A and B are shown apart, each in its own frame.
Chain A
């Protein structure tokens, strides 16, 4: 069974640009959530999608958005990038709000 796949693995962007990250969950999983990990703030919840609906969003500005497609794949978008957006972005997949949540390898975003 394939795991959670995140693409790309690494990104370098310039301040002010926008970026789209992709996450393909484990087959059969309908819930995808996104997290930002930085040395200063640790792991922080961004948002969660279930069956194409955003169920909740963490305390992040509107520049951070996402969506989920009918095949459960999810994308997150960050517009008008700032230096502070440099982070490891992790996607987690689960069947529901169940007993296990599996993460992908993450996308490491560097904003210069």
Chain B
């Protein structure tokens, strides 16, 4: 079974609108971390935001916030006031910690976000 599911293969959004990218996850590990990355066409994976499973508050980093709903196993990324430079692939990822986190990050298939002027 997929551990990370991103149901939106592609999205078109008007510049300056807010964007929500969906991510659901599956794990039986009580301790885990959730990550969002941005990958522009250049290929580099850019770290955006992190949420720990025990964090009480939703994570925020500038225009990025993570809407963490633990009971629903949901970790949606919200981008406020989108910009043309936000056009890229976005990946949700998870690391299960209880095993020492040595299994690396498990990634979803990504969402291709295109911001239109």
Contact = CB atoms under 8 A, between A and B. Distances in A.
B109 A97 contact: no
A76 interface: no
Interface stretch (A16-24, A64-72, A77-85, A100-108): A100-108
Interface in B37-60: 37, 42-47, 50, 52
A97 B44 contact: no
B10 interface: no
Interface residues of B, number: 26
Interface of A: 33, 35, 42-43, 45-48, 50, 55-56, 58, 88, 90, 92, 96-97, 99-106, 108
Contact of B104 (A58, A102, A104): A58
B100 interface: yes
Given A97-B97, A102-B47, A33 B104 contact: yes
A45 B106 CA distance: 7
A56 B105 contact: no
Contact of A97 (B93, B101, B107): B101
A43 B45 CA distance: 11
